[in-house]
Chain A
Amino acid sequence: LAKTTQPISMDSYEGQEVNITCSHNNIATNDYITWYQQFPSQGPRFIIQGYKTKVTNEVASLFIPADRKSSTLSLPRVSLSDTAVYYCLVGPNTGGFKTIFGAGTRLFVKA
């Protein structure tokens, strides 16, 4: 399974755009990139998933360069409620695989 590296923490202010980058140098051809969000004492919550180029949903955008060795989660106009831990995961797009969560990035959004 591809190992991922993310910044340990990031600070931002309300209304700003936040970009969290994840490195996954040994990503395999059939691996997808998935981001989850976790609030304290809650289960992780899916944010977005992609394979290449750009994916956008109502919550975030995911940018993946051509070599796929990194990806960037973009959160537009963050609010205080976006303070959470964000995890980047890499793995095949099939169910049942052993999912490895890294340490994640702790995002603090300040007023």
Chain B
Amino acid sequence: EPEVTQTPSHQVTQMGQEVILRCVPISNHLYFYWYRQILGQKVEFLVSFYNNEISEKSEIFDDQFSVERPDGSNFTLKIRSTKLEDSAMYFCASSEPMGTNTEAFFGQGTRLTVV
């Protein structure tokens, strides 16, 4: 079964440092997403990406965040200057653009801990 893979599984960083979270979406998918989930809270949408540009973003996705598809397979989320409150699980997902089933496939997540 195809799957979305994320690396690293766990990252610890110091406050103020830049982090890049990496994702390899399913190969024939065209929409890519990042979500985050703070411990004990709900899954929050950050951004969606299609055709090399952002489709939608939430109010959480401010200037500290950026996304990129640097090559044909990777999709990255960069946090420029991490804050303590950025500590969360970050999930990447991908989906086909439309059809009878727009199931989004989620990766296993990267646990980001900002100290």
A residues at B contact (CB < 8 Å): 32, 34, 38, 41-46, 49, 87, 93-104
Contacts and interface: CB of A to CB of B under 8 A. Distances in A.
Size bracket of the B interface: 35 or more
B48 interface: yes
16 contacts: A34-B103, A42-B109, A43-B106, A43-B108, A44-B104, A46-B103, A46-B105, A94-B98, A95-B30, A96-B50, A99-B33, A99-B35, A100-B45, A101-B35, A101-B43, A101-B45
A102 B30 contact: no
Interface in B97-115: 97-109, 111
B25 to A, nearest CB: 12
B42 A96 contact: no
Interface of B: 4, 30-31, 33, 35, 42-45, 48-50, 55-58, 89, 91, 93, 95-109, 111
A101 B41 CA distance: 10
Tell me the interface secondary structure of chain A in the complex: loop
B103 A49 contact: yes
